[in-house]
Amino acid sequence: MFVSGSTNKWSAFLLSACVPGAGQLAAGSWTCLAWFLAAGLLAAGLLTIERFNANSAVWVLPLKAGCGIGLCLLSAEHAKRLLETRPQAGRSTVVAGACRSHSRGRAMHVEISLDMARGCEELWRLVSDLPRFLVIDPFHDRVTLMRDRPGLGVDLLLSHNAFGLRFLRFGRIVAWHEGSGYTFTDFSSRGTASGFPHVFIVHMQPVIGGQGGAPLTRLSIHIRGRWTSPLAPAWLGRLWVWLVCREHARLLRKAL
Amino acid sequence: MRMYCFRCGGELPVQGRPAVCPQCGLQYDPGRPETVATHRTSSRWKFWLPGFLASVLVGTLTYAGCLQIGGEMGWSLFFAVPVSFGALLGYACRLQTWGYVVLGILAITSVIFLLITFSLAGMFCGFTLGIIFLIPTFAGLVCGVILRVVLIAGRWDHAWYFRWFVWLLAALPLAGQLIENRFPHRREIAVIQTGLTIDATPQEAWNAIMFYEDVQHPPPWLLHLALPKPIRSQGDKQKPGEVVTCFYDCGEIKKRISQVEPPRRLAFDVVSVRMRSENYANLKDGGFEISPVGDKQSRITLTTRFERKLRPAFIWEPIERRVIHTLHGHVLEGMRRKAEGPQADDKPPPPYEPRDSKLYLPPLATAMPANIEAGR
């Protein structure tokens, strides 16, 4: 349609959440027309239902709210996906992947495991470029290394963007194994006791038995943390973290 | 150029080499501008915005929930809802006193705005609700602040868990509404009458009888805000048993003409009300009474009977009376202009004579026959 420029994925998300199709328009996609049409048809349909059932307001209001919110969310998610990072070569090299939760109570532990048709060295070049690799995440917006090169003890500035809301979190590389992986923390500015403190453990290992002798490497990312919010119960936290990690796995699969 | 730490906001000493913040220990490199902030970051919104949004959301949803549950529009809707969202506001926000006042007013305004936007309240009811919500919201706000302070200061072992359960405050109005519905109130039939003496014979006054929808001159601002916009009426008002349909911008009311005694009395029963907006009163019937006063004058009395749905009465009753008297006054003025002819415009409108009364009926579950209207 036209070049979308530097539209942020969350801007598109919020636009479409308000007006289905608006985010697609901002992303420069022709699909906006389909969403506008869908929104128009839904509005017309609901008005017709209301006209013919003026007395049944008990179910008409929830129906209208449900359909409207559903369409807005679907459109918002589609608009966001239109602006996500795509693999450089045009095709993903991930051949298999899994996202498993081992969380118990308030202790969160989710494992993302991806088998990739890349050599260990090639993958390490991608994974060790932290400012690029760490933004393949649902909420990481920009990552700044506080020193010139990544290494043990280097602080990280993790700029987050969640649903259009930008905030900073702070981390530190607490383990660095050249060629095989690293671990870094992700803490709130209020300290380690609040705001879901967690660590990312990134590990790579070659897998034997790739098809046709092609190199195969397993990239595993463990996210371990503690659900500290007093406002939301632990089960909700586990569900939320698992959903975010699934999204993280999907983004990695798409981008690598 | 001054440099500040991204984490603690403290000012950083300018050095030529990578260093750490002397206050919080975060690393920075003066040679790389992306590692330092050029101004102090303000994160004050964290102390009030989440709590404010939660409070507005809870206020709107619980109001809608109480309406959906149905039954009485009473204490739960007009007191428990503002107390609930006020308490959440007080509990979840950390501000100075003036901040609470500003945020409380802002929360009320936001809730009212959302209620009007989602057609859960009209413009007039929205403004009225805004005033009614003031005291309970601030009472709830104070309770919320006290609760938070007590929980923080206390040494109760389970305070941490209780801090989560305090969000059940949001369910308070819904539970209140359900309880309120379990205890039926006596029905209250309000009878509002407004009289006007005009310079016309009873026959002229009779010929000028009209409904609200037929009045030609523009209605006062109160009726613009409080009532749906009238469009027209259809049907013969002078024929007993005829059903007259009154059309509004958001629905219609059907009235059956029950009594026609020219030129003395015309009465009607309200058969059905179909409105897309919320009904705040259950209309019953009404009528026009015309009596001669002297040789060339007539007194017209308009009567409207309706079952009150809004409680508590001490808040809503004066408002209802004012609206109905204004409506009657508007119709009577229309009749006067029609009956007196062109000279009516030259004279100032005579004062109206309002008169009100009330009937109390037992709850529907134990209703007596309609003709035994006790407690007049």
Taking only the tens place, the pLDDT of each residue in B106-162 is 999 999 999 988 878 878 888 888 999 999 999 999 999 998 888 777 777 666 666
In angstroms, what separates the C-alpha of A174 from chain B's closest C-alpha? 14
How many whole angstroms separate alpha carbon B110 and alpha carbon B55? 10
More confident residue, B50 or A212: B50
Q: Do the Cβ atoms of B167 and A231 come within 8 Å? A: yes
Mean pLDDT value across chain B: 83
Q: What average pLDDT score do residues A56-83 get? A: 85
How many Cβ atoms are within 10 Å of B260's Cβ, its own excluded? 18
Taking only the tens place, the pLDDT of each residue in A180-208 is 999 999 999 888 888 899 999 999 998 87
Band (pLDDT 50/70/90 cuts) for residue A3 is: very low
Residue A166, chain B, CB below 8 Å: the answer is no
Selecting from B7, B68, B274 the residue whose C-beta is nearest the C-beta of A189 gives B7
Residue B366, chain A, CB below 8 Å: the answer is no
Burial status of residue B129 (CB atoms within 10 A of its CB: 0-12, 13-18, 19 or more): buried
E strand residue ranges, A59-164: 94-101, 107-116, 140-145, 155-162
More confident residue, B352 or A58: B352
pTM (2 decimals)? Answer: 0.55
Q: Do the Cβ atoms of B7 and A61 come within 8 Å? A: no
Asked whether the CA dihedral B239, B242, B247, B250 is positive or negative, the reply is positive
B80 pLDDT above the threshold of 90: yes
Selecting from B34, B163, B274 the residue whose C-beta is nearest the C-beta of A55 gives B274
Q: What are phi and psi of A146, to 5 degrees?
A: -85, -5
Per-residue confidence (pLDDT) for residue A79, from 0 to 100: 93
Residue B49 vs residues A80, B25, B99, B113: alpha-carbon distances, Å: 25, 29, 12, 18
Per-residue confidence (pLDDT) for residue B42, from 0 to 100: 60
Question: Which 8-state DSSP code applies to residue B218?
Answer: P
Chain A residue numbers with beta carbons less than 8 Å from the beta carbon of B28 are 146
How many whole angstroms separate alpha carbon B358 and alpha carbon A176? 83
Taking only the tens place, the pLDDT of each residue in B12-48 is 888 778 888 888 888 898 888 888 888 776 666 777 8
Beta bridge partners of A115: A96, A218
Residue B119, chain A, CB below 8 Å: the answer is no
B184 pLDDT above the threshold of 80: no
Mean pLDDT value across chain A: 87
A89 pLDDT above the threshold of 80: no
Taking only the tens place, the pLDDT of each residue in B235-294 is 888 888 889 998 888 788 999 999 999 888 999 999 988 876 666 778 889 999 999 988
A-B CB pairs within 8 A amount to 45
Band (pLDDT 50/70/90 cuts) for residue A92 is: confident
Per-residue confidence (pLDDT) for residue B112, from 0 to 100: 92
Per-residue confidence (pLDDT) for residue A88, from 0 to 100: 60
B375 pLDDT above the threshold of 60: no
Determine contact, residues A149/A129, Cβ cutoff 8 Å. no
Band (pLDDT 50/70/90 cuts) for residue B362 is: low
How many Cβ atoms are within 10 Å of B117's Cβ, its own excluded? 11
Residue A55, chain B, CB below 8 Å: the answer is yes
B336 pLDDT above the threshold of 50: yes
Q: Do the Cβ atoms of B163 and A61 come within 8 Å? A: no
More confident residue, B309 or A184: A184
Q: Do the Cβ atoms of B6 and A170 come within 8 Å? A: yes
How many whole angstroms separate alpha carbon B95 and alpha carbon B52? 11
Band (pLDDT 50/70/90 cuts) for residue B3 is: confident
Band (pLDDT 50/70/90 cuts) for residue B369 is: very low
How many whole angstroms separate alpha carbon A75 and alpha carbon A40? 13
Q: Do the Cβ atoms of A61 and B68 come within 8 Å? A: yes
Residue A133 vs residues A109, A124, A140, B170, B323: alpha-carbon distances, Å: 21, 10, 10, 42, 66
Band (pLDDT 50/70/90 cuts) for residue A235 is: very high
How many whole angstroms separate alpha carbon B165 and alpha carbon B159? 10
More confident residue, B220 or B355: B220
Band (pLDDT 50/70/90 cuts) for residue A135 is: very high
For every residue of B186-198, DSSP letters joined together read PEEEEEEEEEEEE
Chain B residue numbers with beta carbons less than 8 Å from the beta carbon of A230 are 160, 163-164
Residue B18, chain A, CB below 8 Å: the answer is yes
For residue B259, which of B234, B233, B285 has the smallest C-alpha distance?
A: B285
Chain A residue numbers with beta carbons less than 8 Å from the beta carbon of B68 are 58, 61-62
Q: Do the Cβ atoms of A146 and B28 come within 8 Å? A: yes
Residues 6 or more apart whose CB falls under 8 angstroms from that of B177 comprise B65, B66, B69, B71, B72, B76, B77, B80
